[in-house]
Structure 1
Amino acid sequence: MHKNTRTLLTASIAAIVLVAGSFTWYHWHHQRAEAQAVAATAKAYTQAFAKRQYPTMAKQIDTGQLKGTGWHYTKKQLIARNQAVFDRVGASRIKISKLTTTPSAHNTYQLRFTATMKTKVGQLKALHYQAKIVKRNDTWRVRWTPALLFPQMAGKDTVQLTTTKAVRGQIYDRNGQLLAKNGTVLQAGLIPGKLGTGSTRTQNLQKIATAFNVKVSSLETLLNQAWVTADTFVPVKVVTAAPELTGVNYQTVGSRTYPLGAAAAQLIGYVGEATAAYLKKSPTLTAGSDVGKAGLEQTEDTKLRGVDGGAITIGHGDQTTTLLKTNPKNGQDLHLTIDAAKQQKAYTQLGNQAGTVVTMDPKTGALLTLASAPSYDPNKFVNGINQSDYDAYAKDQALPFVSRFTQRYAPGSTFKMLTAGIALANQTITANTTKTISGLKWQKDASWGSYQVTRTVNASSENMTAALVNSDNIWFAQAALQMGQAAYLKGLQPFFKATADLPLAMKPAQISNSGKLDRETLLADTAYGQGQLLLSPIEQAAMYSAIANGGTMQQPTLVQETTGKRISVLPAAAANTVKTALTHVVSDSAGTAHGLALAGHTIAAKTGTAELKKQQDTNGKTNGFLVAMDADHNTYLTVTLIENTGSDSVVTAMKPYLASLY
């Protein structure tokens, strides 16, 4: 072959190879770009699906082909359909795995992915989805079908959710008496078609409103609900009697009941039907679910409520496919340390005065009573309280919904027992230390300006016991000043660092706003329970248990089988010396708690009257306190607060209660 011919042939072959290579590279690059675009569409779709962001998901769908055998949607309807189905089953925590896209035909890919999700009736596992991804106007879009709701669905198939309610755990006292009970109540309801018309209807509604103590306007609101028909039973309220009234019928319904009623309302609380806000917050709830709305019913709701069972089914006309079926897990019972009989007695003795009675076994920390008054009837709330009853509670300036046993107060003179214990412990005083004081007012020096410490008994010479018997503010103010801020704070801090592990919302106790006692007047005031001290009655009981227990502070418990921390905060000798002195507050005729004296029993006690006023020598509200403990066998320690009164009234009110503790 001629040399020029060979050269030309070689060049031609090279050109052919170059063109072929360019075509192969272009085809590979095109396929790669196409695959990446398809994968991006698949990822965007499944991410939106997992997050339940259906408008975003719809942007990845071929909205020009939203129809098939037995179904046809607009884009808006598609979004609503997804929202409705997954709302119905309570879909949450959707996780996507095994996402793949593979070519299946010209401009068509096969999308596959697996999804798991949590529902109202349990975990749905391994749902294997598949669909086509097609090219639509130079973009890749998912060809949607009902199988992308659930793989088992087609056409006009429907999704149904049925629930089997878990039995709510009950709440018991220490002796097995029910405090929150699953029972039945009698419910009154209207039958609209039997009320009559015109003036007859008006008269019947008025009679019903009077009989049930509700407003006619409230009855009309119930009757105007969208679901009401002529033969519908329209619930009005829970009743104890069933008077015969035209247009009224009665039925027995399951209901949570509270045997102690108002006597334990703030502690136990109540349940009610889950509102839209509850349903949104907890996807496992369904319409009609009961949830705790106050007290322990609320704080322990998850344990008490348990987990509903049920089934998710797909309806194919007369046939069904079960996606998931679970059995309910009943709630756990709650066994409290509370003694129902003591709780009722304590509440009764408060006599609807604003106050609280906290009773504790100081040896174990078991809380025996947590009574608060005034109160409310939790039974009225379970099936929907009527507006007039609710308004009466809500407008009550005595605040019946407040749990006074968790609220913080200045403890007044009851706190002197701790000041005495600390002063004995650091040897600022002895049991025999005597102070000579003149008059009912005292100040350290002129640097205090017009501020003075006052007392009610003009005793010229007192030792520690006499100062406790007379509740002498000046004596304890002087002891604290002699001790000094550093020593007093060092003694107080162990009492305030410890906290109880209780299922109750409660702010921590405070020594002062800053935690310091950096002014002499604040140091003096704190020594006798005023200043900026704030303690809840529960915290007081815990702190004062150190006097009952020979220097060991016992943290309280409310749930049986739990253990409260025990902390040594005072030397036994100091605590026992104070406890002995407190018995004189009851046994001595001049003692502020002498009215508690019970034949055959030795009671250690301390009263207190905390003043709530902005300026000295002016009138203001006072809170009366009483701390009492069994000095013979250490079986109880009780802290009582009654607002807007003095300690004398508290002693009078609580003597029958203390007598019942023996």
Structure 2
Amino acid sequence: MNDRSRSRRIFRRRVLLAALIALIVFSVLIWRAAFLQVDRHAHFSELAEKNRIRTLVIPPERGRIFDDGGRVVAGNIATFQAQITPEDATNLKNELAILQDVLSLDADTLHDLRERIRFGRSFDPVLVKSDLTPYEKAKLAQLQPWLPGVEIVSSLKRVYPYSHLLAHVVGYVGRINVADLKRINPDLYQGTQYIGKSGIERQYEDLLHGTPGHKEVEVDALGRVVKVLHITPAIPGKDIHLTLDVPLQGIAAAALGTYSGAVVVEDPRTGAIKAMVSRPSFDPNLFVDGISRKNYQALLNDPERPLYDRAITATYPPGSTIKPVMGLAGLQYGLLDPNKKFFAGPYFQIPGDSHHYRDWRKWGHGWVNLDQAITQSCDVYFYDLAYRMGIDKLHDFLTEFGLGEKTGIDLPGESSGLVPSRAWKRKTKGQGWYPGETVIAGIGQGYMLSTVLQLAQTASILAESGKRHRPWLVKNNEEKEPPIELKSPSFWQDVRHGMLDVVNSPHGTARRIAAPYLIAGKTGTAQVFTVAQNAQYNAKELAKKLHDHAVFIAFAPYDDPKIAVAVLAEHGGSGSGTTAPMARKVMDYYLGYQPSQTVKPEFVQHGD
């Protein structure tokens, strides 16, 4: 009996204990459920909402670039591209390996992709490859379960329909690289894979780029979009209209022929650049999706340096093209009487020095005044003028004229050129200034350097008798600059008439290009090396790379200038034989003149 009672008590205790434990467990479950559903409701609702709703970036459409006639010189075409979002990839390393195999990515491209992922934000999509082929799209779609971080999206790709013709001016866009990521605002470039790298594309990047938009979408368990909830449209970039004229650009490029060099055409009345050619050139389309190492090395190792902008970055001795400006300086400083004759023999000597500074015409020019000195490009006349003027005054006047300083054109990469001075030589070379260096500076040689754009600007200022405009390429950017004031307005006419005779006088160095309309110009030769004192320059005995550069500046029509042009042909010999006929072709087209007979460039071994 006692055993039975004890057994019942033990049983009841066990039942009560089990019930108590069950009650406690049930109470904990009730409490936990209440905690999760009441206290943590907002948190888990947010997580669920994030799994259901995604925010997608809408990249902006890049603004187009047009020429003066409304022709598209930089546009966009629809394409498909593969991109990867790092935070959506379950195994980033494996996904990159699959992409490398399917899309045939080389080692350099894969390294660049990894670097962009490394320095970018994990939620920003990164471009893998654009212009996908149908096969590549199908293969990626087939492998989608193993590529959760990869998307195929439609996008707009930058294209340059005129290719080499406008490469240096319009520039190009390229993939956003690590260096770009460090300087841009990532919020403004969400979903954007390209950025301006050179030319107008880089100068006006902020205007062309636009602002990204966003799209909220509802997705299913597999991540597929089932509903669009809200759209904030992207703001497209602004279109840009240039002052350049594509047909004129083509004429200028054709005029240069096979020469390396540059042509710049400016409207002297406004400063608008109508053509800007640099040769040789390159295809900017190669850079849009990332140029291959092979193609890039080919461009870098090309001895003609096609990537180098010879219009605004390269600098050359201006040669005799600065003689009209030297004439103005002489008049302004009271060192010249325009009508007074000066005997110009075969060479000039500094008093007390035996060195001969030779004229390009080995027998000299005889008695000449300022007009004749410009017309015949008399070196000795300007040797004497520079020596009497001194380098300090020479530097001050030419700098005021705009030489040795950037013009301020709306393009990156412009060089300032160089007008030397005592202070410059002391600072850069630690040496004093010698009188002989002043002498050769008077004909644009020695340390003197200028860009072809600066020479076109010089021609424009001469055409407008001192009125100045900053050169510009994007419309509505016209900006006047203070005019050059001289003691007498007649000084301009004294020099301009000399330039008129360069082309229209029987004694002018560019008389071969005389046209039915009046052209005023100045020929020039930029020396590549110095001829020894007792030696003779003989182009036939020299390698082409040692031939002088040919230079020519001009404006027309003389009485009502509408065009100013500067042409430089590397190793072209002389301005009179090579670049003057090139400039004539450009002016003929611009002014609407159809010549009955074309003046062809011809190599002249020495002279201006």
Answer yes or no: same fold by TM over 0.5: yes
Q: Which moved more, 1:366-375 or 1:510-519?
A: 510-519
2:352 corresponds to: 446
- 1:176-233 superposed Cα distances (whole Å, 9 cap, x missing partner): 222112235899xxxxxxxxxxxxxxxxxxxxxxxxxxxxxx96849x98999xx973
TM-aligned CA deviation for residue 566 of structure 1: 2.7
User: Closer, same or farther in 2 for the Cα pair 1:587/1:156, shift >3 Å?
Assistant: closer
Q: How many residues align?
A: 468
- 1:275-296 superposed Cα distances (whole Å, 9 cap, x missing partner): 3443454313346622222221
Separation (CA, whole Å) in 2 of partners of 1:632 and 1:324? 64
In the alignment, residue 425 of structure 1 is paired with which amino acid? Q
In the alignment, residue 261 of structure 1 is paired with which amino acid? S
Map 1:560-579 onto structure 2 (within 5 A).
560-571=475-486, 572-579=489-496
TM-aligned CA deviation for residue 614 of structure 1: 5.6
In the alignment, residue 174 of structure 1 is paired with which amino acid? D
Q: What is the aligned counterpart of 1:552 among 450, 467, 470?
A: 467
TM-score, length-normalised on structure 2? Answer: 0.68
Q: Between the two proteins, what is the percent identity of the paired residues?
A: 25
1:521 corresponds to: 436
2:390 corresponds to: 484
- 1:124-163 superposed Cα distances (whole Å, 9 cap, x missing partner): xxxxxxx99xxxxxxxxxxxxx97xx99447995995422
Separation (CA, whole Å) in 1 of partners of 2:580 and 2:337? 29
Q: Contact 2:467 / 2:484 at 8 angstroms: preserved in 1?
A: yes
> Is residue 633 from structure 1 mapped to residue 542 from structure 2 by the alignment?
no
Q: What is the aligned counterpart of 1:308 among 209, 212, 218?
A: 212
> Is residue 594 from structure 1 mapped to residue 508 from structure 2 by the alignment?
no
Separation (CA, whole Å) in 2 of partners of 1:511 and 1:276? 38
2:581 corresponds to: 652
TM-aligned CA deviation for residue 570 of structure 1: 4.4
In the alignment, residue 556 of structure 1 is paired with which amino acid? P
Q: What is the aligned counterpart of 1:584 among 493, 497, 501?
A: 501
Give the strand-richer structure, 1 or 2: 1
In the alignment, residue 521 of structure 2 is paired with which amino acid? A
Separation (CA, whole Å) in 1 of partners of 2:45 and 2:388? 82
Secondary structure, aligned partner of 1:510: coil
> Is residue 429 from structure 1 mapped to residue 359 from structure 2 by the alignment?
no
Q: Contact 1:171 / 1:178 at 8 angstroms: preserved in 2?
A: yes
Secondary structure, aligned partner of 2:462: helix
Q: Contact 1:186 / 1:253 at 8 angstroms: preserved in 2?
A: yes
TM-aligned CA deviation for residue 396 of structure 1: 1.3
In the alignment, residue 363 of structure 1 is paired with which amino acid? R
Separation (CA, whole Å) in 2 of partners of 1:567 and 1:453? 38
Q: Contact 1:552 / 1:570 at 8 angstroms: preserved in 2?
A: no
1:47 corresponds to: none
Separation (CA, whole Å) in 1 of partners of 2:229 and 2:472? 45
TM-aligned CA deviation for residue 397 of structure 1: 1.0
Q: Which moved more, 1:526-535 or 1:268-277?
A: 268-277
Secondary structure, aligned partner of 1:181: strand
User: Closer, same or farther in 2 for the Cα pair 1:335/1:156, shift >3 Å?
Assistant: closer
1:415 corresponds to: 322
Secondary structure, aligned partner of 1:574: helix
Separation (CA, whole Å) in 2 of partners of 1:592 and 1:422? 22
Q: Contact 2:452 / 2:567 at 8 angstroms: preserved in 1?
A: yes
Secondary structure, aligned partner of 2:345: coil
> Is residue 622 from structure 1 mapped to residue 574 from structure 2 by the alignment?
no
User: Closer, same or farther in 2 for the Cα pair 1:324/1:586, shift >3 Å?
Assistant: same
User: Closer, same or farther in 2 for the Cα pair 1:417/1:515, shift >3 Å?
Assistant: farther
User: Closer, same or farther in 2 for the Cα pair 1:660/1:314, shift >3 Å?
Assistant: same
Map 1:152-163 onto structure 2 (within 5 A).
152-153=46-47, 157=51, 160-163=54-57
TM-aligned CA deviation for residue 456 of structure 1: 2.1
Q: Which runs of 5+ in 2 are unaligned?
A: 1-38, 82-102, 114-127, 138-152, 426-432, 536-541, 592-608
Q: What is the aligned counterpart of 1:357 among 252, 257, 263?
A: 263
- 1:440-459 superposed Cα distances (whole Å, 9 cap, x missing partner): x2211234x54634332521
2:417 corresponds to: 509
User: Closer, same or farther in 2 for the Cα pair 1:550/1:156, shift >3 Å?
Assistant: closer
Secondary structure, aligned partner of 1:629: strand
TM-aligned CA deviation for residue 471 of structure 1: 1.1
TM-aligned CA deviation for residue 615 of structure 1: 6.4
User: Closer, same or farther in 2 for the Cα pair 1:324/1:511, shift >3 Å?
Assistant: farther
Q: Which moved more, 1:281-290 or 1:413-422?
A: 281-290
Separation (CA, whole Å) in 1 of partners of 2:170 and 2:498? 37
User: Closer, same or farther in 2 for the Cα pair 1:438/1:156, shift >3 Å?
Assistant: closer
> Is residue 290 from structure 1 mapped to residue 194 from structure 2 by the alignment?
yes
2:285 corresponds to: 379
TM-aligned CA deviation for residue 323 of structure 1: 11
In the alignment, residue 428 of structure 1 is paired with which amino acid? L
Separation (CA, whole Å) in 1 of partners of 2:478 and 2:154? 41
Separation (CA, whole Å) in 1 of partners of 2:510 and 2:423? 32
TM-score, length-normalised on structure 1? Answer: 0.63
> Is residue 258 from structure 1 mapped to residue 166 from structure 2 by the alignment?
no
Separation (CA, whole Å) in 2 of partners of 1:327 and 1:253? 15
Q: Which moved more, 1:641-650 or 1:270-279?
A: 270-279
TM-aligned CA deviation for residue 258 of structure 1: 1.9
Secondary structure, aligned partner of 1:272: strand
Q: Contact 1:180 / 1:257 at 8 angstroms: preserved in 2?
A: yes
Separation (CA, whole Å) in 1 of partners of 2:457 and 2:483? 12
Q: Contact 2:191 / 2:212 at 8 angstroms: preserved in 1?
A: no
User: Closer, same or farther in 2 for the Cα pair 1:313/1:567, shift >3 Å?
Assistant: same
Secondary structure, aligned partner of 1:539: helix
> Is residue 604 from structure 1 mapped to residue 531 from structure 2 by the alignment?
no
TM-aligned CA deviation for residue 533 of structure 1: 1.6
TM-aligned CA deviation for residue 590 of structure 1: 3.1
Root-mean-square deviation over aligned CA pairs: 3.8
User: Closer, same or farther in 2 for the Cα pair 1:323/1:513, shift >3 Å?
Assistant: farther
Separation (CA, whole Å) in 1 of partners of 2:529 and 2:235? 54
Map 1:155-194 onto structure 2 (within 5 A).
157=51, 160-183=54-77
TM-aligned CA deviation for residue 555 of structure 1: 2.3
In the alignment, residue 413 of structure 2 is paired with which amino acid? A
Separation (CA, whole Å) in 2 of partners of 1:548 and 1:602? 12
Secondary structure, aligned partner of 2:440: helix
Separation (CA, whole Å) in 2 of partners of 1:170 and 1:220? 30
Q: Contact 1:543 / 1:553 at 8 angstroms: preserved in 2?
A: no
In the alignment, residue 454 of structure 1 is paired with which amino acid? D
Q: Contact 1:584 / 1:604 at 8 angstroms: preserved in 2?
A: yes
Separation (CA, whole Å) in 1 of partners of 2:436 and 2:376? 21
Separation (CA, whole Å) in 2 of partners of 1:186 and 1:597? 56
Q: Contact 2:203 / 2:410 at 8 angstroms: preserved in 1?
A: no
Q: Contact 2:62 / 2:76 at 8 angstroms: preserved in 1?
A: yes
Q: Contact 2:58 / 2:191 at 8 angstroms: preserved in 1?
A: no
In the alignment, residue 637 of structure 1 is paired with which amino acid? A
User: Closer, same or farther in 2 for the Cα pair 1:474/1:570, shift >3 Å?
Assistant: farther
Secondary structure, aligned partner of 1:628: strand
Q: Which moved more, 1:472-481 or 1:386-395?
A: 386-395
Separation (CA, whole Å) in 2 of partners of 1:499 and 1:526? 21
Secondary structure, aligned partner of 1:176: coil
Separation (CA, whole Å) in 1 of partners of 2:198 and 2:395? 37
Higher relative contact order (CA 8 A, sep 6+): 2
- 1:289-311 superposed Cα distances (whole Å, 9 cap, x missing partner): 22222221122122111112124
Q: Contact 1:550 / 1:573 at 8 angstroms: preserved in 2?
A: no
